[in-house]
Each structure stands twice: as structure tokens, then as C-alpha cells.
Amino acid sequence: IEDIEGDKRDGASTLAISIGPEKASYMASAIGFVAVLASPLPYLQSLLTVHYLAVVLIADILFFAAVAAILKEKDPAKSSKLFKMAMFGALIAFLVGT
């Protein structure tokens, strides 16, 4: 969403261009919520340790912050940065939980 103008100039076909930035914001938010809802599953299935839960909680908070940044603050750049931090945090959680 943050690069929509440059993407249009370059002739890219992105979701934000196809459905518009507002709908793309809602879709990104929905994906963030699904990630948070699914985050305890590896622990509940006894695939990862309790250490995973502790670290993934931080990632979940970052996912919520990313959703707030895109929906409430209308700040796609901040949201993108927070989503990337959340995904990195989730990756670390998987490593810690093994």
C-alpha cells in the first residue's frame, strides 16, 4: 500500500492497485488477525515448547500494532515496518521453541 504510486508508474499489478488501498488494508488486517489466532497452535499440538509462547506473544503484540497502524492511524509505512518486525519475532519464536 505504501508503494502504490511507484507500483502504478512501474506498471506493477499489486493487490492494493487491483482492489484499492482501503480494501487492501482490511485484507492485511485480516491476515494479521489470523496469524495471531493461529499462533498458539504449534504449542497446543505439542510441536513447540512453552518458550515459543513467551516469544510469540511479543510477535502477536506487534501484529496488533501493525493492524492499528493501518486501520486507525492510516499509516501504511509504519504498519509495514511493524508487520515485518512481527514476522521476524514469529520466526525467532519458532527457533526458541524448538
Each residue of 65-80: pLDDT tens digit? Answer: 999 999 999 999 999 9
The cell for 30 is 485480516
The three three-digit cell numbers of residue 18, written as one number: 487491483
- The pLDDT of residue 64 is 96
Answer for the pair 28, 1: CB distance below 8 angstroms, yes or no: yes
Q: How many domains does the chain have?
A: 1
- The whole-angstrom separation of Cα 82 and Cα 88 is 10
Q: At what angle do helices 50-71 and 21-38 cross, to 10 degrees?
A: 160
Q: Is the pLDDT of residue 2 over 90?
A: no
The answer to whether 62 touches 41, Cβ cutoff 8 Å, is no
> Is pTM, for the whole model, over 0.85?
yes
In the chain, % of residues over pLDDT 90: 95
Domain of 80? 4-97
pLDDT in tens, 28-43: 999 999 999 999 999 9
CB contact burial 30-62 (16+ within 10 A = b; e otherwise): eebeebbeebeebbeeeebeeebbebbeebbeb
